[in-house]
Structure 1
Amino acid sequence: MNGPVLSKPEPLPFTSRMLKGRAAVVTGSTSGIGLGIAGALAAQGADVMLNGFGRAEDIERVRSSLADTHGVRVSYSVADMSKPDEIDGMITQATDDFGGVDILVNNAGIQHTAPVREFPIERWNAILAINLTAVFCATRAVLPHMESRGWGRIINIASAHGLVASVHKAAYVAAKHGVLGLTKVVALETATIGVTCNAICPGWVLTPLVQKQIDDIAAREGLSADDARAKLLGEKQPSLEFATPEQIGALAAFLCSDAAAQIRGAALPVDGGWTAQ
């Protein structure tokens, strides 16, 4: 009697150095979430282009550390994400450095808070330019290469604010909702080829930007650092714990794996239960 016919096993999420030979561009990656993602991709063997602002000596230290630790090529682009021509130049530079761009992580972002009636139009325009238009520009620039090779991963770092809203964050919420819409469109347009597009939606992640908000709360309300941290988390994040850049990086690496080939157009929360409420 013949036994059951076994289907071919699904690929494991990670294999050793599964991204060796791939090249990634990660915007806003000189610190925080972007740096966590760059490190996770480099650990899987991908060559990485960093991008972002900071002191030249600090950026070089990060660049050389990633390259030495993981044995990959790491370059840096100073491109300003508010300027479409510089975004195109960044992708051209990555193509020259690595032979193409297989993975694009759109992470760069800025924030400003104010009631709608008081929101400065120049801050609205700046947030939309960096948090949304830059995602479109970089995606448009990398798609021809990915389509020609029949493989690519576009990962947009949205936010819990791409799924829900908060007061005083009109531009940021609008931009992140727009990122999720763009993610779905790109996913549909690439649905029949080996290019995927997905979004990660972090809640509170302990980065230098969030630490500044904690420090501001502590100073404004006369709280200890621990109490200010608990206040910030307690307003939104039921786990009462921060996500980490390393956790976001691990999810980004998973989305680059063969196991994630049919995850398309998804918005994946990493928010300690924020959007489950």
Structure 2
Amino acid sequence: MTSTSPAADPSATAGPLAGRTALVTGAASGIGRAVATRLAEQGASLLLLDVNEAGAREAAEQVGGEALTADLSDRTAIEALGLGERGIDVLVNNAGIQHVAPIEDFDPERFELIHRIMLQAPFHLTRAVLPGMYAAGWGRIVHLSSVHGHRASAYKSAYVSAKHGLEGLSKVIALEGAAKGVTSNTVCPGYVRTPLVEGQVADQARSHGIAEDEVLEQVLLARTPVKRLVEPEEVAHLVGFLCGPGTDSINGQSYLMDGGWTAQ
């Protein structure tokens, strides 16, 4: 666990989330880092959690937050963070990994790892912070789901099933927290320009039997009318909105930003 000094700029404490503490997982890069930046701009104090200690520290320094390091596939490591004592008002469950392979070739241990990180960890993290949110009478939980929480793609059995499960978990949290001032929603982008997406190009090419330079057009954007990747900052703005003012009645919802994929 590594901490950094708060931002010296007094304007960092201004904004609709001033006085709130936000925890973002998978915050060292990609969507998580963009979300942390956005919430800091809205005045929140940030806890940036990632398995990559150096990356989390760098991201935390950028926003004047605190870096936390843990392997989210390990429930004991999550419990050791002591999140229930941190006064967390906003939780963004973003951390994720990917593996692309036909079911008959899919490593069962890899399947289970993906579910531990992307479905079980959000449960454990939510369980840790909910009592504090309930006591405060306010909380915002946003889960980074995916268009794959609504649609399936071949060769992604673990990722698709984990995201479908996350959609259900979010709705249960929404129902349980509604009367206590806590909302739970999901944000479901299509393919986002992140290291996670870039890292699956080779596996996609191999699974589909095409060249790597054909993956973007023939696989990633094949079902998307808007023919470009989603930018992390676009996702971050939606997350920031869901954590901001005027959202008390936005609860148990799933926000698709998939370039029109699910409109077809």
TM-score under structure 1 normalisation?
A: 0.84
Q: Within 5 Å, which residues of 2 pair with 1:171-190?
A: 171-190=158-177
Q: Within 5 Å, which residues of 2 pair with 1:234-249?
A: 234-249=221-236
Q: Within 5 Å, which residues of 2 pair with 1:1-277?
A: 17-54=15-52, 56=54, 58-67=55-64, 74-92=65-83, 95=86, 100-214=87-201, 221-222=210-211, 224=213, 228-277=215-264
Counterpart residue identity of residue 245, structure 1: P
In 1, Cα distance between equivalents of 2:98 and 2:200: 11
**Residues 118, 213 of structure 1: alpha-carbon distance in 2 compared, 3 angstrom cutoff:** closer
Note the C-alpha offset of 1:228.
4.6
Counterpart residue identity of residue 36, structure 2: A
Query: Which deviates more, 168-177 or 108-117?
Result: 108-117
Q: Deviations over 1:206-227 (max 9, x none)?
A: 0112123346768985565xx6
SS in 1 for 2:221: helix
In 2, Cα distance between equivalents of 1:55 and 1:215: 26
Note the C-alpha offset of 1:88.
2.3
Q: Tell me how large the CA RMSD over aligned residues is.
A: 2.0
Q: Where does the alignment leave 5 or more consecutive residues of structure 2 unmatched? A: 1-13
Note the C-alpha offset of 1:36.
0.8
C-alpha contact (below 8 Å) 1:23/1:102 kept by paired residues: yes
In 2, Cα distance between equivalents of 1:80 and 1:197: 23
Note the C-alpha offset of 1:83.
1.1
Query: Which deviates more, 175-184 or 236-245?
Result: 236-245
SS in 2 for 1:148: helix
C-alpha contact (below 8 Å) 1:29/1:52 kept by paired residues: yes
In 2, Cα distance between equivalents of 1:171 and 1:214: 17
**Residues 83, 118 of structure 1: alpha-carbon distance in 2 compared, 3 angstrom cutoff:** same
In 2, Cα distance between equivalents of 1:192 and 1:234: 40
In 2, Cα distance between equivalents of 1:80 and 1:55: 10
In 1, Cα distance between equivalents of 2:222 and 2:201: 13
User: How many percent of aligned residue pairs carry the same amino acid?
Assistant: 44
Q: Where does the alignment leave 5 or more consecutive residues of structure 1 unmatched? A: 1-15, 68-73
**Residues 238, 63 of structure 1: alpha-carbon distance in 2 compared, 3 angstrom cutoff:** same
In 1, Cα distance between equivalents of 2:195 and 2:85: 27
In 2, Cα distance between equivalents of 1:94 and 1:274: 41
Question: How many residues matched?
Answer: 249
C-alpha contact (below 8 Å) 2:27/2:56 kept by paired residues: no
C-alpha contact (below 8 Å) 1:233/1:241 kept by paired residues: no
Q: Deviations over 1:165-204 (max 9, x none)?
A: 1111111111110000011111011121211000111111
SS in 2 for 1:259: coil
Counterpart residue identity of residue 67, structure 2: Y
SS in 1 for 2:250: coil
C-alpha contact (below 8 Å) 2:78/2:125 kept by paired residues: yes
TM-score under structure 2 normalisation?
A: 0.88
In 1, Cα distance between equivalents of 2:83 and 2:204: 42
Runs of 4+ that moved beyond 6 A: 215-220
Counterpart residue identity of residue 47, structure 2: M
Map of 1:8 onto structure 2: none
Larger gyration radius, structure 1 or structure 2: 1
